Amino acid sequence: MTPVQGLFLVTALAAVLSAIMVVTSPRLVHAALWLIVTLAAVAVLFILLDAAFLAMVQIVVYIGAIAILIIFTVMLTRRVMADTGPQMNRLWWLAAFIGLVLFGALVALLAQMPSWWTATPPAATESFELIVQDLGLSLVDLDRYIIPFEVASVLLLAALIGSIVLARPPADDLETGEGE
């Protein structure tokens, strides 16, 4: 076993274990903190795959957002410091079933890849700049990812506008509230 493989095993194990902690820890803020460990471990996996750009984006986008997640946790739950209610509700079996089906589907998809059992993936021959350039181009290429990319943008925009509409006070409040 090479050092890189050892590192991969350790990180993958950390990612899975902390992911389990995310769903089992009784305190919501602790769950958010375990989520950081999971996401950081995935970032390390990206670095092991020579995708430093993705690793950094992973940290910016996901770990950077954990602070906001904690704010929402605190604001949306009652007595967050001490709240330890039951962790399961009646539908736990349905969630477990869906999780298993998704896992099976992913494994089935992966098994179709030709190099599934061969240990060496095709080495990245291009330089870092070319790979990132290719990533950027593929997001505006009609044949590749432009449609998912734009759909995701519209979805995010809708979420933004929706939250503004929800947070905005009613119209009559606005008029009387702001005149100082």
Helix (H, G, I), strand (E, B) or coil at 103: helix
Q: Which of residues 73-92 bind another protein (CB under 8 A)?
A: 74, 81
Minimum distance, C-beta of residue 147 to another protein, in the bound complex (Å): 24
Distance separating alpha carbons of residues 72 and 28, to the nearest angstrom: 10
Residue closer to another protein by CB (options 84, 112) is: 84
- Percent helix, strand and coil across the chain, each rounded to 5? 70, 0, 30
143 vs 178, which CB is nearer to another protein?
178
Q: Would you count residue 17 as binding another protein (CB under 8 A)?
A: no
59 binds another protein (CB under 8 A): yes
24 contact partners, CB below 8 Å, separation of at least 6: 87
Binding mask 31-50 for another protein (x = CB under 8 A): --x--x--------------
Burial class (CB in 10 A: 0-12, 13-18, 19+), 7: middle
From CA 75, how far away is CA 73, in angstroms rounded? 6
The number of residues that bind another protein (CB under 8 A) is 24
In a 3-state reduction of DSSP, which class is residue 77? coil
Which residues inside 117-176 make contact with another protein, applying CB under 8 A? 128-129
Q: What is the CA radius of gyration of the chain?
A: 22
The binder of another protein chosen from 63, 77, 145, 149 (CB under 8 A): 63
What is the binding site for another protein (CB under 8 A)? 27, 29-30, 33, 36, 52-53, 56-57, 59-60, 63-64, 66-68, 70-71, 74, 81, 128-129, 179-180
